[in-house]
A and B are shown apart, each in its own frame.
Chain A
Amino acid sequence: MSSLAKTRLQTERKGWRKDHPHGFVAKPRTARDGSVDLLNWDCKIPGKAGTLWEKGLYPIRLEFTEDYPSKPPKVSFPAGFFHPNVYPSGKVCLSILNEDKGWKPSITVKQILVGVQELLDNPNNADAAQEAAYKLFKKSGAEYAKRVRIEAAKYTEAPAGFVAGGGATGAEDDVIVL
């Protein structure tokens, strides 16, 4: 007796497998017992070429509830992600994910991920979600760009043979000091 939410997510999964944008990853988690956790998806969004975010591959998590698709999923980057529209907890503030604004039950996982990719380079300071990025974005384009590049570098795979594993974590530590 599958729930409406899970039935829909199984359909979403099928739709994604059939067709999805290049460079994106989206898949439900696998639980320890080998079952598929349809309500929790791990995804990756590539930064758009030609933007400050390019080359990075950003992990985001989609958390659905049994009320999906009446309600949108919760979408989050890792906590502390630097972006004017990302809350300190990592949650993304985006109109299509807002039940009162743009959310419609027909919005697909693909549209959500493309929407978040779009948001990366088009921050909306009218709905700022964190102080740090908001202030920097307002203060100086150059400084903001510099900080974004540091953020992007955290999520850029090191070139082959450069640093195995741990490289990304090291970079992250440096950034926190900033």
Chain B
Amino acid sequence: MAPEMSDVELAKSSKVLMVGAGGIGCELLKTLVLSGFEDIEMIDLDTIDVSNLNRQFLFRKRHVGMSKAKVARETVLKFRPDARIVAHHGNVKDSSFDVDFVRTFDVVLNGLDNLEARKHVNRLCLAAEVPLIESGTTGYLGQVTAHVRGRTACFECNPKPVPKSHPICTLRDTPDKPIHCVVYAADLLFPRLFSADPNAKSDLDEEDAVELSAFTRSPGESPESFAVRVYDYVFRTKIERLLAKEEMWADEKRKKPTPLPAFTELVPEGPTAAAHGTDGLNGDGNNSNNTMTSTACKALGLRDAHAAWTDADAARVFVSSFARIVARDESDGNHGTDKFDKDDALAVEFVAATAALRSANYGIERKSLFDAKGMAGNIVHAVATTNAIVGGLIVIEALKVLRQRKAGGDAGGVATPVPCAPCPYRYTFVKQHKSNSRLLEPMEPDPPNKSCVVCGAARVELVCDVESMTLGRLIDEVLKKKLGMNAPEVNAPETILYEQDDGLDDDEIEQYAKNCKSTLANLPAGGVRHNTALRVSDFTQKFEFDLIVTHRPGDEWDDEEDPDGYVLRGDSVSAESNENNAANGENNEENGAVAEDVDDCLIVDDEDEIKAATATAGTKRKRDDDDDDNDGGGRGDAKEIRIE
């Protein structure tokens, strides 16, 4: 083996792709160039916002509105003019950033802020067989994980927690947490009152609400009177009516709500004074413009955004912000505000006040304006130091991955037969409070999840001309003849292309017949094109794999060399022979034993076709486990896949 390269040499000789040039991205780019990396491309679709400037230190006020990727590049070039940095101002999901693009890098580093883009990059990296270092931070917490196909779990091997949604019943009738009150205010009451669409359906439109026109402003009604009427309905009348439904409160564990006092009782100075507070406005035409520029809190002198309001103050803010929103929407001529927006100060006040009053109804802990805003807007407070630590950890993991790759360990992404021991990679968690006097906790990475729907399946590459290959030919010649499938079915990422059995409806049979006559490129939902991953399965053979389509235009084919007009390559897959299938039917319970029988597998290795880059052919992966313990599966029996 060649003498070991130093970290700097390793960095110098590597080409890296950064996705995201925001909070983590700025720190990461700085650490990369200061660690010796000099060949970097980065992608970010975002532009610079004032709120970024406190932590995204490569940006200054004069950059607001400009591309993050481009400004980050320019700033870094000032202190590392010799670095070769390419900035892409675009979406990583654009087709220009395809598998071939990703394949030109030695490692991909993620500094993203959303799950969807993370999943997308994970799949690109799996397909291109390029290692991925994934990262994230929330406040004081952060983590960095390494994902190398075949060696460690992919980003999607383990299900990710998704933000909780709240059932309507809880929100509308039986809240028991502060978040329920906030979501009720932002997602139910706000659109019901202020939406510009008069026909919008709302689950608040119960019979009594409709009867009383509780949420509709009467002709000539002042904004303040309307606001008070809504207050009295939502926090009094409705609660009284709910209490009258004894069945609802039969369960001791459910706490009964309490109606609030009438508005005039709670706020002695009355609605008009409350709505206008001390800013001296009296609702006459001359001053109405002022009303709109000011917020309810300013008018009422409630300066501390972290303080919890009294019921009376919450009621004042409710009526005041309500009236101001109505007045604003009227004068804007847009007739309404459909959705809660965390940057709309009046909307935030309305939501905070509603949530506080509702908390009072249900005896729930009351949140401040600041907290309510964070909850309603899903705001994650960022800490610059966490981002800096995470940026550093990404570089550490990247160097380990690159060293393995250069040493040939993971070269070309060839899966090591056994998940490595000792594995050099780590998942590292940044913690808020130290344990064992440490703030960083490194852990062994997870092994790949064999039943992962993203990286667990075998992959076969089909090279063909998508403008001339029809779905019918794909099914008959490739899947049935060449791969020995019996009743193949084909799913595209977004849609179903072909199914077969007796139970289909006529319209479905007709559509599938139409699909069979279509070329791959012209199929529904955007067509099957270069880099589309099809999922092919066969009920009767309990067999399933991914078919990745690579487009090669017709004029690039040599009829002599490839008389079929298509080429198959990639992982070995096999459809069970019919005899085997029968045996499997009997042995369903012990498919571990059946999986041993691999003699008559059809191996799709075309030695000539295998290029270095796709050298996974012949990689044998065996799976004898059902996916019963995997939540994503649901129907273990339908997914019993055996690949050799």
Q: What residues of chain A lie closer than 8 Å to B582, measured between beta carbons?
A: none
Select B634's contact among A2, A71, A108, beta carbons within 8 Å. Answer: A108
Residue of A nearest to B204 (CB): A88
Which of A52-60, A123-131, A162-170 is the contact stretch?
A123-131
CA distance A121 to B42 in the complex (A): 59
Q: What residues of chain B lie closer than 8 Å to A71, measured between beta carbons?
A: 162, 165
Residues B511 and A30 in contact, CB atoms below 8 Å apart: yes
Q: What residues of chain B lie closer than 8 Å to A1, measured between beta carbons?
A: 120, 123, 493, 533
CA distance A127 to B247 in the complex (A): 8
Residues B501 and A34 in contact, CB atoms below 8 Å apart: no
Select B245's contact among A99, A104, A108, A128, beta carbons within 8 Å. Answer: A128
CA distance A134 to B499 in the complex (A): 44
Q: What residues of chain B lie closer than 8 Å to A4, measured between beta carbons?
A: 156, 159, 453-454, 632
Q: What residues of chain A lie closer than 8 Å to B116, measured between beta carbons?
A: 66
Select A10's contact among B120, B161, B205, B535, beta carbons within 8 Å. Answer: B535
Per-position 1/0 for A1-34, Cβ under 8 A of B: 1111011101111110110000000011011011
Select A131's contact among B119, B169, B206, B251, beta carbons within 8 Å. Answer: B206
CA distance A91 to B168 in the complex (A): 9
Residues A14 and B539 in contact, CB atoms below 8 Å apart: yes
Q: What residues of chain B lie closer than 8 Å to A105, measured between beta carbons?
A: 159, 631-632, 634
The reply to whether the CB of A122 lies closer than 8 angstroms to some CB of chain B is no
The reply to whether the CB of A51 lies closer than 8 angstroms to some CB of chain B is no
- For residues 156 through 175 of chain B, which have their beta carbon under 8 Å from a beta carbon of chain A? 156, 159-162, 164-170, 173
Q: What residues of chain A lie closer than 8 Å to B535, measured between beta carbons?
A: 2, 7, 10
Interface size class of B (residues with CB under 8 A): 35 or more
Residues A2 and B493 in contact, CB atoms below 8 Å apart: yes
Q: What residues of chain B lie closer than 8 Å to A62, measured between beta carbons?
A: none
Residue of B nearest to A2 (CB): B493
Interface size on A, residues (CB 8 A): 56
Residues B634 and A18 in contact, CB atoms below 8 Å apart: no
Residue of A nearest to B500 (CB): A17
Residues B515 and A34 in contact, CB atoms below 8 Å apart: yes
Smallest CB–CB gap between B634 and chain A, Å? 5
Q: What residues of chain B lie closer than 8 Å to A99, measured between beta carbons?
A: 164-167
Q: With A91-B203, A138-B247 given, can you name 7 additional A-B contacts, CB distance below 8 Å?
A: A2-B533, A11-B633, A28-B496, A35-B524, A69-B634, A99-B167, A100-B170
- 19 A-B residue pairs with Cβ-Cβ distance under 8 Å, sorted by A, are A2-B533, A4-B453, A8-B453, A10-B496, A15-B638, A18-B638, A30-B511, A34-B514, A35-B524, A38-B494, A66-B116, A69-B634, A71-B162, A89-B205, A98-B169, A99-B167, A107-B634, A125-B248, A126-B247
Chain A residues close to B by CB (< 8 Å): 1-4, 6-8, 10-15, 17-18, 27-28, 30-31, 33-38, 66-67, 69-71, 79, 87-89, 91, 93, 97-101, 104-108, 125-132, 134, 138
Closest 6 CB pairs of A and B: A35-B525, A35-B524, A131-B207, A35-B495, A2-B493, A105-B631
